[in-house]
Chain A
Amino acid sequence: MTQSGGDINVTANREQPGSISRFLASLAGRLLLSAILWSSVALVVGGVVLSFAFRSYVLSDVDKRLEILLDTLVGISEVSPEGEFRLNQSLADQRFMTPYSGWYWQVSEAGQEPERSRSLWDFALDPGHQNRNFSLRYSITPGPDGQTLRQAEHDIILPEAERVFHYQVATDMAEVQAAIDRFNWLLFSALALILVTVSLALVLQVSYGLRPLRQIKRDLSDVRAGRSAHLRSADEGKMPEDLRPLVDEINGLINQNDKLVDRARTHVGNLAHALKTPLSIIQNEVDGKSDKGAELIARQAKDIRVHVDHHLKRARIAGGGTGPGLEVKTRVEKLVKAVKVIAGDKKLQTNIECLEGVSFDGEKQDFDELLGNIIENAAKWAESKLSINIIRLEEGLRRPMLEIKVEDDGPGVPDEEREALFNRGTRLDEQVPGTGLGLAIVRDIADMYGGSVALSTAGLGGLAVTILLPAK
């Protein structure tokens, strides 16, 4: 189990190159992109429809006024007995008097000079006599002074004369257009504001909505780093209902994996243990016999024993921190007691220094195996004194660690030979019993927990072994 968990990216990591495209490919990116895209489209369509509706409304209002004007104009028109066209009362509106005021009328008859509102001044609207049309028509037409006009036109036969007059009423679009433009500007700035607000809200929503996923990611890397045995979010009841099955499944998977590892370990253990009794019998049977066959068998039995020990010890390493942790002080005391019993008659003065409540974040059997081997080794070499010092380190570390220092007053190990102690099967002694696997397994266990083992010269004169292990 390594310390550096791989990143399962839910959110973008902005420091890295290609982060934009990676962000867009991420779940949050997809959600955000599609949500912003859709709300933009909806807002634009809404804006266009609104703008169109407003324009239609304004135009129809203008058209209505033009129609009324046209009707009024027709109503006050007459043909004099002399056959001359005239208005029997003036259109009492200043707007038709002021030149280029924006409000115009014109009545024309084919072949005659048209009657025009004073406001038209020197300009004439295009009467378009080519085709007669007695229905009311609206159109856009150029006006005086570069104006664009909305005009209503109508061909009328006045009752007094059987002659066709072409009536035109027009108004400048500038004002209307300005109103429409103002409205559009207002509308689209409002929509843009809405889009920005909605986008911000979406970012918040996505980040809030995906928070449980990020939590799962953190939990998973905790599991990988051995800080936790399963996804903790499941315990705290914070998981949303729709993610709970996923979390439960992952936890189930982790559990099953643990069980498989456990079972495999048990099988290896059982196999190794089952081999040991027959091995004992073989060894005892050939022990002391000096013929060639017996020697060969003894040597092979010894080899088998080394293999069995090695694989059994490897299989035993559980690795990974979990649940409650292990109270270190009492455990060390028990181990020391066991080592003393096994060391037999050797009188050892041991000194254990450790605060109450200091805990190791990991499996008891790993701790036992690691420290048991080291203490046994120290006891084997010590003259009379053995010292164990345990402190908890916290400052400047990614996680709290235990520093365990085991020292003896034995002969020690020269610098250049220390590293060799960790090699499998290496024994610097040939007299003292042991398979030489102790320190190799010690390093394996420490590595498994992201800890370390270092050798140095002890204050007592012998070898000092300093172990770093994760603390709870």
Chain B
Amino acid sequence: MRILIVEDDATLAGQIADNLKDAGYTYDIAPDGEEGHFLGDTEPYDAVILDLGLPIMDGASILKKWRADGREMPVLILTARDSWTDKVEGLDAGADDYLAKPFVVEELLARLRALIRRSAGQTSPVLEVGPVRLDTRNSRVSVDGAPVKLTAQEFKLLSYLMHHEGKVISRTELTEHIYDQDFDKDSNTIEVFVNRIRKKLGVPVIQTVRGLGYRLEWGGEAA
């Protein structure tokens, strides 16, 4: 899952980033409105954490532009402006959630998880496909109740596939969503990760769709 943090305070952005990283997310940081808008416009993010008071271009304008241009990724407004008028206006501009500063990181992460889940059409914080179970709240994966230990990259990949259960996901899309923008994108590494995950899970939930990418699906033991 790849998150865009648009926040002009470098310390706070760094703090959020550290916590996102610990929770198994990939992130990019935009320190001003212009870059924030550009990144959100060009990169495929799974969610955006958007400050309202930003240099060059304010958060509400960015959000309106994204929405006008058809960018539908979930956006969480994280701002010091906590009046109800600000909240109503932020949500009217197209935000999906609103969190006022000062905030507790756990709450930010919980809301972010819920946002991503909802935007993927999932209602429960626990994703289950056949015997595979992924708890978004604590990043734990288990198969038939037995915990499976995954590396950070493996978890990101599996999590993305599980959020989009049944859909064909290309290697490029996977790369884009699990690596930040500075990563040297080599889709071959994806294949390596997928193979490792298959081995660790021990159940056939990830299918290769030739020439297109991967699909996560449970077709029963026989498949």
Chain A residue with the shortest CB-CB distance to B14: A281
A396-429 CB mask vs B (1 if < 8 Å, else 0) is 0000000000000000000000000000000000
Q: In the complex, are the beta carbons of A364 and B85 less than 8 A apart?
A: yes
Is B64 engaged at the interface, CB distance under 8 Å to the other chain? no
- Give the nearest-CB partner of A282 in chain B: B102
Question: Is B38 at the interface (CB under 8 A from chain A)?
Answer: no
Tally of A-B residue pairs with Cβ under 8 A? 84
Among the listed B98, B103, B105, which residue makes an inter-chain contact with A338, where contact means beta carbons less than 8 Å apart?
Answer: B98
Q: Is the beta-carbon distance between B84 and A368 smaller than 8 angstroms?
A: yes
Distance from B76 Cβ to chain A, minimum over Cβ atoms (Å):
10
Residue of A316, A344, A364 near B111 (CB, 8 A) is A344
> A433: nearest residue on chain B (CB-CB)?
B107
A19 contacts chain B at the CB level, 8 A cutoff: no
Q: Name the CB-closest residue of B to A371.
A: B84
User: B81 an interface residue at 8 Å Cβ cutoff?
Assistant: yes
Q: Which of A301, A316, A337, A341 contacts B83 (CB 8 A)?
A: A316
* Cross-chain pairs A/B with CB under 8 angstroms, 12 sampled: A281-B12, A316-B83, A331-B88, A334-B92, A337-B88, A337-B91, A341-B98, A342-B87, A345-B114, A368-B85, A372-B87, A373-B84
Contacts of B12 in A (CB 8 A): 277, 280-281, 284
Task: Closest B residue to A370 by CB, please name it.
Answer: B84
Q: By the criterion CB–CB under 8 Å, are A338 and B87 in contact? A: yes
Q: How many Å lie between the Cα of A287 and that of B18 in the bound state?
A: 14
CA distance A309 to B103 in the complex (A): 13
B189 at the interface (CB under 8 A from A): no
Nearest CB in chain A to that of B115: its residue: A344
B-contact 0/1 string along A247-282, CB 8 Å cutoff = 000000000000000000000000011101101110
Q: Which residues of B contact A313 (CB under 8 A)?
A: 83
> Roughly how many angstroms separate A341 CA and B12 CA in the complex, as a whole number?
24
Q: Which residues of A contact B92 (CB under 8 A)?
A: 334
Distance in angstroms between the alpha carbons of A264 and B87 in the assembled complex: 22
Cβ of A285 < 8 Å from any Cβ of B?
A: yes
Complex CA–CA separation, A364 to B80 (angstroms):
19
Are A335 and B88 in contact (CB-based, < 8 A)?
yes
Report whether A287 and B88 are in contact in the complex, using a CB–CB cutoff of 8 Å. Answer: no
Least CB distance from B105 to A in Å reads 5
Interchain CA distance A281-B14 in the complex, whole Å: 10
Q: Which residues of A contact B80 (CB under 8 A)?
A: 272-274, 276-277
Q: What A residues does B11 contact at CB under 8 A?
A: 281
A-B pairs, top 6 by smallest CB distance, nearest first, are: A372-B84, A368-B84, A276-B80, A273-B80, A280-B102, A276-B101
**Chain A facing B: main interface SS:** helix
Q: How far, in whole Å, are A316 and B95 apart by their CA atoms in the complex? A: 23
Q: Known: A273-B80, A277-B80, A369-B84. Is A341-B111 also a contact (CB below 8 A)?
A: no
Is there an interface contact between A344 and B114, defined as CB atoms closer than 8 Å?
yes
In the assembled complex, how far is the CB of residue B179 from the closest CB belonging to chain A, in whole angstroms? 25
Residue of A nearest to B101 (CB): A276
In the complex, chain A residues whose CB is within 8 Å of the CB of B105: 284, 287
Tell me, in angstroms, the Cα distance from A100 to B57 when the chains sit together: 119
Q: State in angstroms the CA–CA spacing of A17 and B11 once bound together.
A: 71
Q: Which residues of A contact B (CB under 8 A)?
A: 272-274, 276-277, 279-281, 283-285, 287, 301, 305, 309, 312-313, 316, 331, 334-335, 337-338, 341-342, 344-345, 364-365, 368-369, 371-373, 433
* Closest chain B residue, CB of each to CB of A345: B114
CA distance A272 to B19 in the complex (A): 25
Q: Closest approach, in angstroms, between the C-beta of A334 and any C-beta of chain B? A: 5
- Give A283 to B97 CA distance when docked, in angstroms: 21
Confirm or deny: B187 has a beta carbon within 8 angstroms of a beta carbon on chain A. no
Given contacts A273-B80, A276-B80, A281-B15, contact A341 B103 (CB under 8 A): no
User: In the complex, are the beta carbons of A341 and B97 less than 8 A apart?
Assistant: yes
Q: Which residues of B contact A316 (CB under 8 A)?
A: 83
Residues of B within 8 A of A368 (CB): 83-85, 88
Q: Which residues of A contact B15 (CB under 8 A)?
A: 280-281, 284-285
B197, chain A: closest CB distance, angstroms: 29
B81 touches A273 (CB 8 A): yes
Contacting B101 at CB < 8 Å: which of A279, A285, A373?
A279
* B9 interfacial contact with A, CB 8 Å: yes
A342 touches B88 (CB 8 A): no
Which among B98, B104, B107, B123 has the highest number of chain A CB atoms within 10 Å? B104
Q: Across the interface, which residues of B come within 8 angstroms of A344, CB to CB?
A: 97, 111, 114
Residues of chain B with a CB closer than 8 A to A365's CB: 83-85
Known: A331-B88, A338-B91. 15 other contacts (CB 8 A): A272-B80, A273-B80, A273-B81, A276-B80, A280-B101, A283-B103, A283-B104, A287-B104, A301-B102, A316-B83, A338-B87, A344-B97, A368-B85, A369-B83, A373-B84
In the complex, residue of chain B having the shortest beta-carbon distance to the beta carbon of A301: B102
Q: Is B96 an interface residue (CB 8 A)?
A: yes
CB distance from B89 to the nearest CB of A (A): 9
- A273 engages B53 (CB within 8 Å): yes
Within 8 A of A (CB), among B1-43: 9, 11-12, 15, 19
Task: From B19, B91, B102, give the contact of A283 (CB < 8 A).
Answer: B102
Q: Which chain A residue lies CB-closest to B87?
A: A338
The residues of B that contact A284 with a CB separation of less than 8 Å are: 12, 15, 19, 104-105
Chain A residues with Cβ below 8 Å from B114 are 344-345
Alpha-carbon separation in the docked complex, A368 to B89 (Å): 11
Please, which residue of chain A has its CB at the minimum distance from the CB of B91?
Answer: A338
Which residues of B76-132 are within 8 A (CB) of A? 80-85, 87-88, 91-92, 95-98, 100-105, 107, 111, 114, 123
Q: How far is the CA of A433 from the CA of B82 in the complex (A)?
A: 15
User: CA A369 – CA B84 in complex, angstroms?
Assistant: 5
* List of A residues within 8 angstroms of B123 by Cβ: 345
Q: Which residues of B sit under 8 angstroms from A337, Cβ to Cβ?
A: 88, 91
Q: Is the CB of B88 within 8 A of A334?
A: yes
